[in-house]
Structure 1
Amino acid sequence: MSSSKQARRLIILDAVIKLLASRGLEGVTHRAIDEAAGLPQGSSTYYFPKKEALLVEASRHLAELLEKDCDELQLGFAEIAARQGVDAAVDYVAKEVVSYADTARDLFLARMELTLAASRREELADVGDLLTAAARRPIEFFLQLISEGRKDMPIETCAALIDGISLMHATGQGPKPTTDQIAAVFRAVL
């Protein structure tokens, strides 16, 4: 695929993520995507004629974005843990999660929308697993490093607490998370 076609596909997929966050699954139509992407009508249909394929590809793109963010967090975390110790590293992660709650709100809400859709639509079943794994990866990494490799870490519990706090904020149902709150979640599961 040429680089211009690949670039246009990414523009379309980024528009899908923004629409999922702002309008939900029902708001993702080919017409809305083209408008949000600033492309001529019919552009998204050319690349993704079926909505199912569009949502699956948007999920893959979203997982890649989450993985990229995870890689950056892991590098910072490992460096601080090595230089300043675990407590400083936990505080670093807490600050990053709080910052992420605002800067990556669209990614979070799109992940929630697609995960919910995956639970209801058989054709999207794999999407839920893909996105859950991408979202859990940094938490698993942090807990494994903090716990010195213990295998019995409650990763799902920690992830659920972080997701719940983030969801309340992202939907306007709760205050912005604090670094103390997020750090307390990590420390509580140790």
Structure 2
Amino acid sequence: MSTKKAARRERILNGVIDLLAGRGLEGVTHRAVDEAAALPQGSTSYYFPKKSALLGAAAEHLAGLLEKDCDELQVGFAEKAAAEGLDAAVAYVAEELVTYTDASRHLFLARMELTLAAARREDLAGVGVHLTAAARRPIEFFLKLISEGREDVPIETCAALIDGISLMYATGQGPKPTTEQVASVFKSIL
């Protein structure tokens, strides 16, 4: 795929994510995506003739965005741990996750929309599981790292707690997570 086509495709997928976050699944139409991506009418249909293909590609793109953020967080954690120790690195990760909840609210909302759609639509089967795994990857990574691979650590439970607190806030159903809340979940396994 040419660079121009790849850039256009990315604009389309970012437009879908923005529409999912702002208008929900029903707000995602080929025409609305063209408008959101500031592309000529018919552009989205050219790349994704069916809405299910468009949503599937948006889910993959969203998972990639979540994975990218995880990679950046891992580097920061390693640097902080080497320079200041494990406690400082845990506090750093907690602060980053709280900041991420605000900065990436639209990603949380798009994830929720796609996850709900996947629960109802056969053509999106597996999307919710894939997105949840991508979103929880950074949390699970740090829990495994600080637990030093111990088998008795409830990693899935701890990751679900942090993910749930973040999702409740992103959807307006709960208070903003605090660094102390997130750090306490991490530290509970030390």
- The TM-score normalised by the length of structure 2 is 0.94
The answer for the alignment partner of 1:169 in structure 2 is 169
The answer for the alignment partner of 1:17 in structure 2 is 17
Matches within 5 A, 1:73-112: 73-112=73-112
| Partner Cα distance (1:167, 1:12) in 2 | 25
Matches within 5 A, 1:27-176: 27-176=27-176
| Partner Cα distance (1:53, 1:19) in 2 | 16
Structure 2 contact 144–155 (Cα < 8 Å) conserved: no
Structure 1 contact 59–131 (Cα < 8 Å) conserved: yes
| Partner Cα distance (2:152, 2:62) in 1 | 29
SS in structure 1 opposite 2:125? helix
- What runs of 5+ residues in structure 1 fail to find an aligned partner? none
- The TM-score normalised by the length of structure 1 is 0.94
Q: Which amino acid aligns with 2:67?
A: E
| Partner Cα distance (2:187, 2:116) in 1 | 29
Is the deviation greater in 120-129 or in 46-55?
A: 120-129
Q: CA RMSD in A?
A: 1.3
Shift of 1:189: 4.2
| Partner Cα distance (1:90, 1:28) in 2 | 39
Shift of 1:166: 1.2
Structure 1 contact 19–27 (Cα < 8 Å) conserved: yes
Is the deviation greater in 161-170 or in 14-23?
A: 161-170
Structure 2 contact 109–170 (Cα < 8 Å) conserved: yes
1:112/1:189 CA distance change after superposition, 3 Å: farther
| Partner Cα distance (1:157, 1:62) in 2 | 23
- State the identity as a percent: 75
Structure 2 contact 63–131 (Cα < 8 Å) conserved: yes
Shift of 1:159: 2.1
- What runs of 5+ residues in structure 2 fail to find an aligned partner? none
Number of aligned residues: 190
